[in-house]
Structure 1
Amino acid sequence: MAAAVEYTIDELAREAGTTVRSLRVYHERGVLPPPQVKGRTGFYGPEHLNRVRTISRLLDRGIKLNGIRELLDAWDRGDDLGDILGVIEPDAAKAEVAEELPEAGETIAATELAERYREVPNGLARVVTAGLYEPVDAENYRLADRRLVRIVEKLGAAGVPAAEVLDELEKLRADTDRIARRFVDLFRRTTFAKFQQSEKDSADRAELAERLAATKSMSGEATSELVTLFVARHLDQDAEISDALSRA
């Protein structure tokens, strides 16, 4: 039997896309149940993660924490609030976004894509520059990166204008390209340099392939972990945001 998923408060904050400070405020306001304490460490489960994501969606709708507590209490009693509030589980949200996007290999008309991003100046060109879609011909485009499009859609649903999201994506592509090149340089200086000095037989090539795959995987994990860490740290240290949360 698979072990139940458990999170420390830091892990829960990262997984939910929020901050430790926010989680502590949720505890203080009675909207987040306490963790299970083992030794001196509190551990949270999937039900806590779903609760935090629900709280975030309700906050996005302009509902204050006192109101959220009353709603969640009613929900815990079994009242059917999900349909009323439009609150859906994460997997359902992913499916909902996926239904709106073309499948791999399918095309979308340039006119339809331009209409989707009509509020963005030069929207058609910018979604290509940002790596969301790629042209097939003059009249049709296809999905280039489903995950990036989902991010744009989710941020848009959270109230962030698409033009600003695309601005950040364009900057992020340039930043991550520089980071990626540093990992490539590191790989060439170390692992590939060692291979060049080897016999280059089948065992050496197999080892090179294995380490290449590991570098591709771990570089992304390291970058994602550090970005998440520093975003959370900067938000936790933002006095104005913390004050706004404490007054909610």
Structure 2
Amino acid sequence: MAGGVEYTIDELAREAGTTVRSVRVYHERGVLPPPAVKGRTGFYSPQHLNRVRTISRLLDRGIKLNGIKELLAAWDRGDDLGDILGVEELAEPPAAAAAGETISATELSDRFGAVPSGLARVVAAGLYEPVDAATYRVADRELAYFADQLIGAGVPVAEVLTELEKLRTDCDRIARRVADLFGRTVWESFRQAERSSVGDAEFTERVELVRSAPGRTAADLVNRFVGRYLAEDPELAELLPGE
């Protein structure tokens, strides 16, 4: 990402896929450096964004904020923790992100134009978003990569788009159900207790856990079920790697 890019706290939280409340707790717990203040507004750099993403990954792995603080302090000292933590891009954002991952409308049309309303569907499916009339950017790298893998494996483009649309619908349904469950149980209890029994930092860890754990669990289940259904074809089962 080019130098000079700045984010307000709302923009930082949105880009990192977390909440403003979480960012503030990270400041309070000493795991996120303060922003540059201009006037009365704090501005965050791409390095802040990568740090917040790293914190989220470590929370996903079940590491508490105190442990994260120690690990990141070791990283900042130059200790060789990159392979362990998966934070090799901490100092600088990935090159793909720096380039904005843009693609021309012509190239995108070549890929999906043969499908009726192809361009509109890839936007609606969340793969790409328009920058201007001639340029698109990747909106979801993992989803776009998955689409490329399916197409590369020989799945027709139209069926790939249909499957991704269904995938988004299924994932949205799961996410809404989990969020509702958390909201009407844990969050409601926290509010009614006037936050006396659980501190903000501890509650933020619970929020980060419920935000990330369902996805990991769902991914494992989907992969397991796909393998099971593929193995129902005896000839195909012979080509699958053993358990």
- How does the TM-score come out when normalised to structure 2? 0.54
Alignment of 1:219-230 (within 5 A): 219-230=214-225
Give the CA deviation at 1:105. Answer: 2.3
Residue matched to 1:176:
171
Looking at structure 2, the residues matched to 126 and 102 of structure 1 have their Cα atoms a distance apart, in angstroms, of 23
**Residue number among 129, 140, 145 corresponding to 2:135 in the alignment:** 140
Cα distance in 2 for partners of 1:116, 1:178 equals: 29
CA distance in 1, matches of 2:170, 2:118: 22
> Are positions 1:242 and 2:241 aligned together?
no
When Rg is computed on C-alpha atoms for both structures, the one with the higher figure is 1
Q: Tell me the secondary structure at the aligned position of residue 103 of structure 2.
A: strand
Tell me if the contact between 2:190 and 2:198 (Cα under 8 Å) persists in the aligned partners: no
Residue aligned with 2:173, SS = helix
Report the secondary structure of 1:134's partner residue.
strand
Aligned residues: 146
**CA deviation vs aligned residue, 1:105-137 (integer Å, no higher than 9, x gap):** 243222221122233222111111111101123
Question: How far apart are the structure 2 equivalents of 1:107 and 1:221?
Answer: 28
Q: How far does the alpha carbon of each residue in 1:25-48 deviate from its partner, in whole angstroms, 9 at most, with x for none?
A: xxxxxxxxxxxxxxxxxxxxxxxx
Normalised to the residue count of structure 1, the TM-score between the two structures is 0.53
Distance (Å, rounded) in 1 between the aligned partners of 2:107 and 2:154: 22
> Structure 1 pair 104/202, CA: closer, same or farther in 2 (3 Å)?
farther
Preserved contact between residue 230 and residue 236 of structure 2 (Cα < 8 Å): no
Aligned counterparts of 1:197 and 1:128: Cα–Cα separation in 2: 41
Aligned to 2:116: 121
Match of 1:17 in 2: none
| Segments of 4+ moved more than 4 angstroms | 101-104, 244-247
Aligned partners of 2:179 and 2:97: how far apart in 1?
33
Gaps of 5+ in 2: 1-93
Does residue 197 of structure 1 match 2:189? no
The one of 196, 200, 205 equivalent to 1:210 is: 205
What pairs up with 1:64-103 in 2 under 5 angstroms? none
Aligned CA-pair RMSD? 2.6
